[in-house]
Structure 1
């Protein structure tokens, strides 16, 4: 990010979404994050292939589960979709920004759904289920 920090700060468009931020930072439904940082998984392994370490980079560049999404991204930004290259591409055009954001949305939605299924099926007491949002009732509705 440092090489393009000025352009990033001065950009006029391009909103960061929750899932786009996950891909750019590596903080999301990635085995490495869920195991080493969030302590919600026992292993850093990818649940979508046989790789021992699921990271944002692995998901972006290598995991065979996301070949279709990766091809769609490459059709817009080019064959090199390493993180520094896609950040530069995002800053170069609105079309590229949208392509990366769409890629992140599709990928992370699928990975989150997979994580929810694993949580529901898990009997491991160390896996903490996600907090559910409370439903807020109006003043006339009893709780």
Structure 2
């Protein structure tokens, strides 16, 4: 959701516009719906400017670069699962992140020994997880990569959808199917990876040590 300070400005703008004294003869006060819509567009614009300027959350900014499209996505609005949140933030069972947090001795990938086990590496590059990518690869016609993510999680731009209802429905159904396959890929990779990480840690734990 938008930052709280921008939401505060948005509410203030709506109250101001709806309560403003009309200055010109025949001037009409905007409807509440119009005032809300225009204020929200201004909020999204200000939020987008901050999002592009920040040096934080680099991975999330890479896969969710356009906040307007994220808020207006045309794929199903399903809750972000624990693993999907990890995939979009890069904060999870990734050795690069765990090493950065002081929870791992190295950022290297345990599965393929790559130098940096990031979310991008795990989801799209590590050959160990290739089998989990097969269904999405088949649907896309190419191996999924980082560039694909935003279009998959946004869905097609609403204004570009076909006018014909049948064609429009077909495009939306295809986008939903691709989105589901991506969701399933993320869940399967990260669930399996976490299970393997637990087993590895258990194997390294000295006998009779506390859990």
TM-score range, shorter chain: 0.7 to 0.9
Higher relative contact order, chain-length normalized (CA < 8 Å, sep 6+)? 1
Q: Cα offset for 1:20?
A: 1.3
* SS at structure 1 position matched to 2:68: helix
Range 73-82 or range 54-63, more displaced: 73-82
Moved more, 80-89 or 50-59: 80-89
Q: CA deviation at 1:80?
A: 5.3
Per the alignment, residue 57 of structure 1 pairs with 120
Q: Which runs of 5+ in 2 are unaligned?
A: 1-62, 156-174
For 1:2 and 1:23, how far apart are their aligned partners in 2? 11
- The normalised TM-score by structure 1 is 0.76
Compare 63-72 and 11-20 and name the one that shifted more.
Answer: 11-20
CA gap of 1:26–1:9, structure 2 versus 1, over 3 A, is same
Query: How far did 1:30 drift?
Result: 0.7
The residue that corresponds to 1:27 in the other structure is 91
Q: Which moved more, 1:7-16 or 1:51-60?
A: 7-16
**Structure 1 position 34, deviation (Å):** 1.1
Q: As a proportion of its length, which structure holds more helix?
A: 2
Matched, 1:10 2:41: no
Higher Rg of the two aligned structures: 2
Measured against aligned partners, the alpha-carbon deviations of 1:76-99 in whole angstroms (never above 9, x if no partner) come to 234252223222123222112111
Cα root mean square deviation, aligned = 2.2
Q: Counterparts of 1:117 and 1:2 in 2: how far apart (Å)?
A: 33
Structure 2 length-normalised TM: 0.53
Structure 1, unaligned runs of 5 or more: 130-143
Aligned residues: 125
